[in-house]
Amino acid sequence: MIYRFVIFVALAAATGGCASLVSSAGSGLASSISSAMFNQNDPEIVRDGAPAYLMMLDGFVEQSPDDVAMLAAAAELYSAYGVVFVDDPERARKLTDRGLGYGQRALCASNENACDSWERPFDEYVIALAQLDLEDISALYAFSLSWLAQIQAHSDDWAALAMLPQVKASYHHLQEIDPGYRAGNVEHYLGVLNTVRPPSLGGDFEAGRVHFERAIELTGGQDLSVKVDFAKYYARTLYDRELHDQLLNEVLEADPEQRDYVLTNTLAQDEARELLESADEYF
């Protein structure tokens, strides 16, 4: 599944944002649940429990419809959950469409100059991006991720796939605003965005490799999903069997019990096994 792991990383930020909102109301319960979720090695428990956050965020947004933090948290969680844990394509599209709607509202609430910018041609969209600054960074991040997830859920729609350059430009602008903002995640996203298409269709694999290696460095190698995507999108497309197997074997040999990455790493190791099992047929 395209972007599965790269979108999944956002669940931590989204539930963290939700936790901060609830904590501000006087409760630390959500913070504890968020931590437990990402240190859970049984994905099915998270699959069954996360929808409670969706409903809670819907309620927060209904009470404060122009609150950027709430809209951003809702955008990220709906998008991540729809891509990672929903197997039914139609339901995944509905959830990620809702996530993108929240992301668009967050960006517009943060900076009215960005309203409807996503509907403009590429050159005009880039001009609109240039007007966003540090105050808009959390909204832009949530919007960019929700757009990426929505494209994933609509991967059979060429019109949706045609928006990948805009998403890529969004992440580059995030780096221009603040190179340190969720840097490991952004580098991971850019690694995928540069390698999800073959070179003949616009993929930049030299840049993609740099982004993947930088993401591994920034996360200290603790986020095993980076190496899985590195193998899946870079090594497989270029038919580099040696790098492919090296990366995936490193994932399987690693200890998945890394604080705040346990769930991500559990899923990553499952994917690594599947990719290695199919390697002889693929290569």
Rg of the chain (C-alpha set): 18
Enter the DSSP assignment of 283.
-
Give the tokens for residue 248.
Answer: 């995936």
Question: Exposed, middle or buried by CB within 10 Å (0-12, 13-18, 19+), for 156?
Answer: exposed
Structure pTM? 0.87
| pLDDT for 136 | 97
Task: Return all residues near 220 (Cβ < 8 A) that are at least 6 apart.
Answer: none
Angle at 65 (CA atoms; ends 89, 118), nearest 5 degrees: 55
| pLDDT for 26 | 34
Give the tokens for residue 133.
Answer: 């600054």
| pLDDT for 32 | 54
Closest CA to 11 of 23, 24, 36: 36
Q: How many CA atoms lie within 13 A of 203 on its CB side?
A: 18
| pLDDT for 48 | 82
| pLDDT for 2 | 47
Distance separating alpha carbons of residues 255 and 55, to the nearest angstrom: 34
Give pLDDT tens digits for 204-217: 999 999 999 999 99
| pLDDT for 11 | 54
Distance separating alpha carbons of residues 140 and 152, to the nearest angstrom: 18
Give pLDDT tens digits for 130-170: 999 999 999 999 999 999 999 989 988 989 989 999 999 99
The tens place of each residue's pLDDT in the chain, 283 residues long, gives: 445 555 555 555 455 545 444 444 433 444 455 566 677 777 787 778 778 878 888 998 998 899 998 899 889 889 988 988 888 999 999 999 999 999 999 999 999 999 999 999 999 999 999 999 999 999 999 999 999 999 989 988 989 989 999 999 999 999 999 999 999 999 999 999 999 888 888 899 999 999 999 999 999 999 999 999 999 999 999 999 999 999 999 999 999 999 878 888 999 999 999 999 999 999 9
| pLDDT for 187 | 96
